[in-house]
Amino acid sequence: MRLPGRRPPGSFFARDPLVVAPELLGKLLVHAPADGEPTAVRIVEVEAYRGSSDPASHAFRGPTRRNRTMFGPPGRLYVYFTYGMHWCANVVCDLPGDAGAVLLRAGEPVFGIDVMQARRPAARRLRDLASGPARLCQALGIDGALDGTDLRAGPVWLRDDGVPPPEAPIVTPRIGLTRGTESSWRWVVGGNLHASRPANGGVSPEGR
């Protein structure tokens, strides 16, 4: 199978997650296993996490077995297990020395929709398929076995097919935190129905 779009250069990931996060909006996230059905979503919602300076980050208290991927090179997939049952995926992106990441919170299904629906029978509508960090992983078949995957080598890929990030994404505080709630480090494609929750109430820099 020929994947759509181009791989971002390695330098794309080697920047502050606050800069990378909004640029991930509109990119394709593809899971194309060698022995399985390819599936893909277009990223519509992300959150940035910094390292040592961000009390909400898994990296805040230094490296552990769980978060070691965050302390490795940028451009890898950091997959973690939470609430005893859910997987969530991040793009590791930071300059060396401060473990940063971008949590992939929601995507719009674009390929292999039938496969994703079979993986998520609880999703009654298309907009329920990948509208949440754990839903997105479930739809794409991403779990802990893919932690550490190089996003430029697969089988999970990030691709740029020419759809640009929105000029005025919705900006809000991050979801589900008890600390770090003062920072508005969540970005959502305005008006998109596949976000994890309605993207109003947030601030759009240009008013859109």
Judged by CB under 7 A, the stretch of 20-28, 30-38, 50-58, 108-116 that binds DNA is 50-58
Query: Using CB under 7 A, which of 65, 97, 162, 206 touches DNA?
Result: 65
- Can residue 84 be called a binding residue for DNA (CB under 7 A)? yes
Q: Which residues pair with 87 in a beta bridge?
A: 81
SS3 content of the chain, % helix, strand, coil (to 5): 15, 25, 55
Alpha-carbon distance of 193 to 95, in angstroms, equals: 33
- Asked if 79 and 29 touch (Cβ cutoff 8 Å), the reply is no
Query: Using CB under 7 A, which of 39, 67, 69, 149 touches DNA?
Result: 67
Q: Binding to DNA (CB under 7 A): which residues in 105-124?
A: 120, 122-123
Alpha-carbon distance of 140 to 153, in angstroms, equals: 17
Kindly list the distances between the CA atom of residue 74 and the CA atoms of 67, 150, 169, 204, in Å, as whole numbers in the listed order. 13, 9, 24, 28
Query: Using CB under 7 A, which of 32, 73, 81, 171 touches DNA?
Result: 81
- Can residue 61 be called a binding residue for DNA (CB under 7 A)? yes
What tokens appear for 178 in the block?
A: 């008890």
Amino acid at residue number 186: R
- Can residue 146 be called a binding residue for DNA (CB under 7 A)? no
- Can residue 66 be called a binding residue for DNA (CB under 7 A)? yes
Closest distance to DNA from the beta carbon of 163 (Å): 23
Q: Binding to DNA (CB under 7 A): which residues in 162-201?
A: 174-178, 196, 198
Q: Give the residue among 130, 164, 122, 161 at the shortest CA–CA distance from 25.
A: 164
Closest distance to DNA from the beta carbon of 133 (Å): 5
Total residues contacting DNA by CB under 7 A comes to 41
- Can residue 18 be called a binding residue for DNA (CB under 7 A)? no
Which residue number, 56 or 171, has a Cβ lying nearer to DNA?
56
Q: How many CB atoms lie within 10 A of CB 69?
A: 22
With H, G, I as helix, E, B as strand and everything else as coil, classify residue 132. coil
Place of tokens 């590791």: 92
Enumerate binding residues for DNA (CB under 7 A): 47, 49, 56-59, 61, 64-67, 70, 78, 80-86, 88, 90, 101, 103, 120, 122-123, 128, 132-136, 138, 174-178, 196, 198
